[in-house]
Amino acid sequence: MSEELKHRTSHIINIKSPSISIPNTPKDTDSIVLVSPSTIVHASFDYSVHEKEDKNNENNKSNKTEEDKYELTTKSESESEITSPNDELWNLEYNDKPINYIVGKLIGQGSYGKVYYGINQDNNQIMAIKQVDIKNKMMVDSLSAEINLLRDLNHENIVLYYGCEFKKTFNVFLEYVSGGSVASMLIRFGKFGESLAKSLTSQILSGLEYLHQKKIIHRDIKGANILVDEDGIAKISDFGISKKNIYENAYKKQTRMSLKGTVYWMAPEVVNGKGYSAKVDIWSVGCCVLEMLTGTHPWINFNDVQPVLYKLCTRNRPELPESLGSVARDFIDKSLSIDPEVRPTASELLKHQFVVEQDEDFNYHDYYDEAVAKENEEVLKEEAENEKNLDDDWIDDVDDIDDYFDESAMDDDSMIGKDNYLDEE
C-alpha cells in the first residue's frame, strides 16, 4: 500500500460489521463516533497534518484561521449526560409559539427517535411529530443544529419546520408529507421510470440550490431522506447532520470537516480527510438518481460498507448499469466526477438535458395509480398462487394418508365376523 493511501485511510480504524467503531483516536483529532453503516457514519479525522502545514505558513502562525472558530467537540464532551430540561438545549431561545396538538399513530422510527402523525388543534393542520429521547450532548448538538437550520428555511422542496417543545421527550413539529420517501416507494413499486426520476431530480436540485445559496451542506442526500407528497412534490428532509459552510460560497472547500453521511451515497472527498464543500451533495444526487433508476442503492455489489469505504479512499465510483439511457448516464457521470472541482453545482445541473427535457405527458397521479394497480394485481396473483399451493399440499396429504391403509385388510374375507356397520343382521 502506498504512503499516500495509508494517509488517506489512516483515520478509518477497526471497521466492523454490522457496526463501525473508531477507537483509539489520537489526542489531536476531532472525535465524533456514532456507529451505523446502514444509515449514518460519524467518524474522526486526524488534523495533525493540517496543523503542521499551518505551522509552516507564517500567515496562519500568528492568526487563527476562520475555521478554528468551528472546531468540533470531543467525544467526551459529546457523550456527557443530559439529565435536566434546564441544561443547554432547553435554554436555547427558539421563541416558538406553543402548539396545541394531538399525537396520532406511529409513522416510523430510527436510531434517534420516533415520528408520529399529529394534528394542530388550533388550525387542524396535519403534522409529523419527531420525538427524541435525549441521552447525551451529542444528541443535543445534533438537534440544535437541525432546528437552527430548519427554522430559517422556506422552500417548496424542503420540509417545513413548525416549532419544537420539551416535555418527557423533545418534540419537533414538521410538515407532514403523505406519500412517504423515495426509498419506501422503491421498495413498494420497484425502480422508477425516467419520467418520474426526471421530475423528482429537478425538484431535489431546486431544493439543494436553495440550501447551497444559504451556505448549507445537507451531507445526507439519499432516497430515504427525500419525501414525496400525494401530488408528486419532493421534499428534502432530515437535517440532523447538515452544516453551514463558513465561507460565503458553499462550494469552497472547508478543511475541518468530519466524516458524516451514509456510506453508499458518500463522496470520496468525505472519506479522504482533507475537507470538502457542498459538492458532496452533488455526488449524493448522482447516487440518488442511480438509486431511482435501478431500484437499489449504489455499490450494490457490496453488502458491507468496509469495501465501499476502501473504494472511496482509492477514488472510485459506483458502476453504472448498461440499461441506463444516454442522457441519464451523462447526468450521473457528471454528478459522480471524482474531482469535486470538476463536479457541477446544483444550478448547473438544473440546466442539464436530463432535467430540462421533462416528459410533457407525465402525470404523477396517473403514474401512482398505475403503480398501485400493478401492485394490487401482483398481490392477488401471489394470493392465488399461495391458495393453489395450499390445495396441492392438502391433496398430497390425502395421498399420504392412503399409504397408512393396507388394502389387503379391506377384502371381503378379512371383514367376515368383524363388528362393522356393513354387517347385516
Q: CA separation (Å) from 132 to 59, 167, 168? A: 44, 10, 9
Task: Give the residue with greater pLDDT, 78 vs 318.
Answer: 318
Q: Assign 111 a pLDDT band (cuts: 50, 70, 90).
A: low
| Rounded Cα–Cα distance for residues 195 and 201 (Å) | 10
Task: Give the bridge partners for 171, in sequence order.
Answer: 131, 165
The tens digit of pLDDT for each residue in 410-420 reads 555 544 444 44
Q: Is the confidence at residue 254, as pLDDT, over 80?
A: yes
Q: Residue 364 is placed in which grid cell?
A: 404523477
Which of 29-38, 194-203, 403-412 has the lowest average pLDDT?
29-38
Catalytic residue among 220, 330, 366, 400: 220
Task: Give the residue with greater pLDDT, 135 vs 8.
Answer: 135
List of domains in the chain: 3-78 (no CATH), 88-175 (3.30.200.20), 182-367 (1.10.510.10)
| Rounded Cα–Cα distance for residues 68 and 75 (Å) | 18
Q: What is residue 399's predicted lDDT score, i.e. its pLDDT?
A: 56
Q: What is residue 318's predicted lDDT score, i.e. its pLDDT?
A: 95
Q: Assign 402 a pLDDT band (cuts: 50, 70, 90).
A: low
Residue ranges for the binding site for ATP?
A: 130
Mean pLDDT across the chain, nearest whole number? 77
Of all residues in the chain, what percent carry a pLDDT higher than 70?
Answer: 69
Q: Is 220 a catalytic residue?
A: yes
SS3 128: strand
- The predicted model scores a pTM of 0.73
Task: Check if the beta carbon of residue 316 is closer than 8 Å to that of residue 182.
Answer: no
Task: Check if the beta carbon of residue 208 is closer than 8 Å to that of residue 153.
Answer: no
Of all residues in the chain, what percent carry a pLDDT higher than 90?
Answer: 52
| Rounded Cα–Cα distance for residues 3 and 9 (Å) | 10
